[in-house]
Structure 1
Amino acid sequence: MQQLTQKLGSGDMVIQEVPYPQLGKGMVIVKNHYSIISAGTEGSTVVAARKSLIGKAKERPQQVKQVIDTLKKQGPIQTYRAVMKKLDAYSPLGYSCAGEVIEVGEGVTEFQIGDKVACAGAGYANHAEIVSIPVNLCVKLDDNANLKDAAYNTLGAISMQGVRQADLRLGESCVIIGLGLLGQLAALILKASGVTVIGIDVSEAAVNQAIENKVVDLGLTRNAAGVEEQILNATQGHGADAVIIAAATDSLDPINFAGAIARKKGKVVVLGAIPTGFDRDPFWYRKELELKMACSYGPGRYDLNYEEKGIDYPLPYVRWTEKRNMEAFQKLLATKRIHIDYLTTHEFDFDNAKDAFDLVVSKSEPFTGIALKYNTDKQATKSKIATAATDKLGKINISFIGAGSYAQGNLLPNIPESAEVGRVGVLTNTGTTSKRVAEKFKFQFCATEEADVLDDKTNTVFVATRHDSHGAYVLKSLEANKNVFVEKPLCLLESELEDIIEAQSKANKAVMVGFNRRFSPLTAKLKKAVGNNPMTMIYRINAGSIPKDNWIQDAEIGGGRVLGEVCHFIDYLTYLNGSLPIKISASALPDANQLNDTLNILIQFENGSSGVIGYYANGSKAMTKEYVEVFSAGMSATLDDFKVLRIYGKGKPKKKKLLNQNKGQKEMVAAFVNGLLNDGNAPISFQEIVAVTKASFKVLESIKLGGQQVDV
Structure 2
Amino acid sequence: MKQVIQNFKTGELYVDEVPAPALTKGMVLIENKFSLISAGTERSTVKVAKANLLGKARQRPDLVAQVIQNVRKEGLKATLEKVRTKLDTLKALGYSTCGRVIASMDTNHFFKPGDRVACAGQDYASHAEVICVPQNLVVKIPDTVPYEEASFTTLGAIAMQGLRQADPKLGETVCVIGLGLLGQITCQLLKANGCKVLGIDISESLVQLARNLGADDAVQRSDANLMAMANQFTNGYGFDSVIITAATSSNDPIELSAEITRKKGKVVAVGAIKLDVPRDPHFYRKELDLRLSCSYGPGRYDTEYEEKGIDYPYAYVRWTEQRNMEAFLQLVAQGGINIKPLITHTFDITEAETAYDIVTGKRQEPHIGILLHYPDNDSKFIHTKIIQHNGAAQQQIEAGFIGAGSFAQSYLIPNVKNFGGGLKVVVTSKGITAQNVAQKFSFDSASSNSKDVIDNKEINTVFIATPHNSHAPYVIEALKAGKNVFVEKPLAMHEEELENVKACYMQQGGRLMVGFNRRFSPVASALKQNFKGINEPLVMNYRVNAGFIPKDHWTQDEQTGGGRIIGEVCHFIDLMQYFTEALPQTVFAQCIHSANSVNKNDDNIVINIQFTDGSVGSIVYVATGDKALPKERLEVYGGGKIGIINDFRGGEWYSNNKMVKLKMEGKGHTQEVHAFLNAIKEGHPSPISFESMYATTKATLKILDSLHTGLPQQI
Tell me which interval the TM-score lies in, with the shorter structure as reference length: over 0.9
Matched residue, 1:37? 37
Alpha-carbon distance between aligned partners in 2 of 1:450 and 1:680, rounded to the nearest angstrom: 27
Matched residue, 2:164? 164
Matched residue, 1:697? 701
Structure 1 residue 275: deviation in Å?
2.1
1:333-378 per-position Cα deviation (integer Å, ceiling 9, x unaligned): 1111111111111111111000000111116121111111111254
Alpha-carbon distance between aligned partners in 2 of 1:315 and 1:106, rounded to the nearest angstrom: 19
Matched residue, 2:481? 480
Give the aligned residue type for 2:240. D
**1:589 and 2:592 equivalent?**
yes
Report matched runs for 1:9-408 at 5 Å: 9-105=9-105, 107=107, 109-214=109-214, 216-362=215-361, 364-389=364-389, 390=391, 393-408=394-409
- Name the SS for the 1:309 alignment partner: coil
- Contact map agreement 1:548 1:595 (CA 8 A) in 2: no
- Contact map agreement 2:419 2:674 (CA 8 A) in 1: no
Give the aligned residue type for 1:153. T
- Contact map agreement 2:177 2:201 (CA 8 A) in 1: yes
Structure 1 residue 388: deviation in Å?
4.2
- Contact map agreement 1:31 1:376 (CA 8 A) in 2: no
Matched residue, 2:518? 517
Across the aligned residues of Structure 1 and Structure 2, the Cα RMSD in angstroms comes to: 1.6
Structure 1 residue 651: deviation in Å?
3.7
Give the aligned residue type for 2:261. A
Of residues 54-63 and 256-265 in structure 1, the stretch that sits farther from structure 2 once superposed is 54-63
Of residues 260-269 and 349-358 in structure 1, the stretch that sits farther from structure 2 once superposed is 260-269
Alpha-carbon distance between aligned partners in 2 of 1:333 and 1:34, rounded to the nearest angstrom: 17
1:305-351 per-position Cα deviation (integer Å, ceiling 9, x unaligned): 11111111110111111011111111111111111111111111111
Structure 1 residue 417: deviation in Å?
4.1
Change beyond 3 A, Cα 1:30–1:688 = same
Structure 1 residue 380: deviation in Å?
2.3
Give the aligned residue type for 1:199. G
- Contact map agreement 1:391 1:444 (CA 8 A) in 2: no
Structure 1 residue 483: deviation in Å?
1.8
Matched residue, 1:573? 576
Structure 1 residue 277: deviation in Å?
1.8
Alpha-carbon distance between aligned partners in 2 of 1:620 and 1:262, rounded to the nearest angstrom: 45
Alpha-carbon distance between aligned partners in 2 of 1:271 and 1:394, rounded to the nearest angstrom: 55
Matched residue, 2:667? 663
- Name the SS for the 1:49 alignment partner: helix
Alpha-carbon distance between aligned partners in 2 of 1:35 and 1:151, rounded to the nearest angstrom: 5
Alpha-carbon distance between aligned partners in 1 of 2:579 and 2:273, rounded to the nearest angstrom: 54
Alpha-carbon distance between aligned partners in 2 of 1:558 and 1:341, rounded to the nearest angstrom: 46
- Contact map agreement 1:27 1:108 (CA 8 A) in 2: no
Matched residue, 1:622? 628
Structure 1 residue 82: deviation in Å?
1.7
- Contact map agreement 2:100 2:117 (CA 8 A) in 1: yes
Structure 1 residue 28: deviation in Å?
1.3
Alpha-carbon distance between aligned partners in 2 of 1:388 and 1:572, rounded to the nearest angstrom: 42
Alpha-carbon distance between aligned partners in 2 of 1:629 and 1:422, rounded to the nearest angstrom: 39
Alpha-carbon distance between aligned partners in 1 of 2:548 and 2:423, rounded to the nearest angstrom: 37
For structure 1, the 5+ residue unaligned runs are none
Structure 1 residue 516: deviation in Å?
0.6
- Name the SS for the 2:262 alignment partner: strand
Change beyond 3 A, Cα 1:299–1:459 = same
Matched residue, 1:552? 555
Structure 1 residue 489: deviation in Å?
1.0
Change beyond 3 A, Cα 1:371–1:384 = same
Alpha-carbon distance between aligned partners in 1 of 2:228 and 2:574, rounded to the nearest angstrom: 72
Alpha-carbon distance between aligned partners in 2 of 1:17 and 1:391, rounded to the nearest angstrom: 23
Matched residue, 1:601? 607
Alpha-carbon distance between aligned partners in 1 of 2:539 and 2:684, rounded to the nearest angstrom: 34
Of residues 486-495 and 100-109 in structure 1, the stretch that sits farther from structure 2 once superposed is 100-109
Give the aligned residue type for 1:690. Y
For structure 2, the 5+ residue unaligned runs are none
Alpha-carbon distance between aligned partners in 1 of 2:601 and 2:194, rounded to the nearest angstrom: 47
Of residues 309-318 and 480-489 in structure 1, the stretch that sits farther from structure 2 once superposed is 480-489
Of residues 437-446 and 122-131 in structure 1, the stretch that sits farther from structure 2 once superposed is 437-446
Structure 1 residue 690: deviation in Å?
0.7
Alpha-carbon distance between aligned partners in 2 of 1:414 and 1:383, rounded to the nearest angstrom: 26
- Name the SS for the 1:411 alignment partner: helix
Alpha-carbon distance between aligned partners in 2 of 1:105 and 1:391, rounded to the nearest angstrom: 41
Structure 1 residue 416: deviation in Å?
4.8
Alpha-carbon distance between aligned partners in 2 of 1:418 and 1:182, rounded to the nearest angstrom: 53
Alpha-carbon distance between aligned partners in 2 of 1:380 and 1:195, rounded to the nearest angstrom: 46
Matched residue, 1:438? 438
- Name the SS for the 1:472 alignment partner: helix
Alpha-carbon distance between aligned partners in 1 of 2:144 and 2:394, rounded to the nearest angstrom: 53
Give the aligned residue type for 1:159. A
**1:683 and 2:687 equivalent?**
yes
Of residues 230-239 and 561-570 in structure 1, the stretch that sits farther from structure 2 once superposed is 230-239
Structure 1 residue 164: deviation in Å?
0.6
Structure 1 residue 392: deviation in Å?
6.1
- Contact map agreement 2:130 2:381 (CA 8 A) in 1: no
Aligned length: 707
Matched residue, 1:451? 451
